Amino acid sequence: MQTTVESPRTSRLRSLAINAVKAGVSVGLLWLLFRRVDMAQLWGYAKHASPVWLAAALLLYLAMILASAWRWSLLLNAQHLRIPYSFLTSSYLVATFLNNFLPSNIGGDFIRIADTARIAGSKTLATTVVLIDRGIGLLGLALMAATGATLMQRLSVGPVGPKLLWAGFCLGAIAATPALLMPEAMTRLLAPLRVFHREWVDERIERLTIALTKFKETPTALAGCFLGAVIVQTVLVLFYLAIARSMNIPIGFAALAVIVPVSFIVQMIPVSLNGFGVREATFGFYFTRLGLPLESALLVSFMGAALIMLFSLSGGLVYIGRQTRT
């Protein structure tokens, strides 16, 4: 079988074209939103923002990072990898920095994989742990959205109702079951890949099967990781609630428990630069359905993004510190 290898120049041009399209989508959506905004009202909300509540939001984001690193450590411990929590936290900070300052939200995963692969002695094992962490995190995201939609069902907000969200959560849990409870099934599923490079694929499948078997033997680690995912999503909702409180925007936890997870799901669709534009459009849609001004939605969304980027600079400092030590 003859394969065509893409040249580095062609790859760069393709990447630039994709990022240009994403930037166009982000700018276009933001332009459409700001056409409907009363700038005087926008500034009226912003200038009265409480520094105390914004500081509380930053502390909540720190708590989210700490909970995420703890969740990651549970999965690594299940693989008999004892990695210092401080190292995992610093790795997560660097990952957060890259996720926010690169035109993609997966760059941070590569850092997490690289950091743990050296210690684990296997990229396959490190990748498996990060992917399981991601998958369980998505289940926590779906559970938060479904719970929030159920709590505020009487408001009939949004195009996605609680039944559909609960169905999505259940389907996700069912889809994850074979991988976590029947590792042998994954081996059979991946077996056709052996046609490309039998020895290389066999070695990776074996490592993957061993890793999944260890997870099967430590259900408490998976349960703890899922609990951690729910905690992370709860803290993120509280983060945005603190931002709303800082500007006296009357929106409650239940509403944000729908809006925040849905906005994160929308941002995973690779059509914009780091979610800009689609995130604000999502906030705007839900806020206006609740009878709140579009200006308040944009401010909560932008302030959240600004605080996250400000916080993630700490990851940049950790990264620079790493480079100076090498």
Tens digit of each residue's pLDDT (9 = 90 or more) over 102-147: 766 667 889 999 999 988 888 889 999 999 999 999 999 989 888 8
* pLDDT score at 326: 62
* pLDDT score at 271: 79
Lowest mean pLDDT of 41-45, 154-158, 308-312, name the range.
Answer: 154-158
3-state SS class at 152: coil
Q: Is residue 17 part of a domain?
A: no
Q: Is residue 293 part of a domain?
A: yes
Q: Is residue 27 part of a domain?
A: no
Q: Is residue 24 part of a domain?
A: no
3-state SS class at 7: coil
- Mean pLDDT value across the chain: 85
Q: Is residue 28 part of a domain?
A: no
User: How far apart (Å, rounded) are the C-alpha atoms in residues 258 and 241?
Assistant: 12
pLDDT, greater one: 270 or 248 = 248
Q: Domain range for residue 206?
A: 48-325
Burial label for 198, CB within 10 Å (0-12, 13-18, 19+), is exposed
Cα–Cα nearest to 132, from 224, 60, 58, 45: 224
Number of neighbouring beta carbons within 10 Å of residue 119: 15
* pLDDT score at 3: 46
| DSSP output for 76-99 | HHHTT----HHHHHHHHHHHHHHH
* pLDDT score at 204: 78
**272, 26 Cβ separation under 8 angstroms:** yes
Cα–Cα nearest to 88, from 99, 72, 74: 72
Q: Is residue 11 part of a domain?
A: no
Percentage above 70 pLDDT, the chain: 91
Residue 2 has pLDDT above 50, yes or no: no
User: How far apart (Å, rounded) are the C-alpha atoms in residues 280 and 287?
Assistant: 10
Cα–Cα nearest to 137, from 63, 68, 83, 183: 68
Consecutive H or E run containing 216: helix 198-217
Q: Is residue 139 part of a domain?
A: yes
Cα–Cα nearest to 243, from 232, 258, 256: 256
Total number of domains constituting the chain? 1
Residue 187 has pLDDT above 50, yes or no: yes
State the angle between helix axes of 183-190 and 162-181 in degrees (0 to 180), rounded to the nearest 10.
Answer: 90
Record the tokens describing residue 7, joined without a space.
């040249």
Encode pLDDT of 65-109 as tens digits. 999 999 999 999 999 999 999 999 999 999 999 888 876 666 788
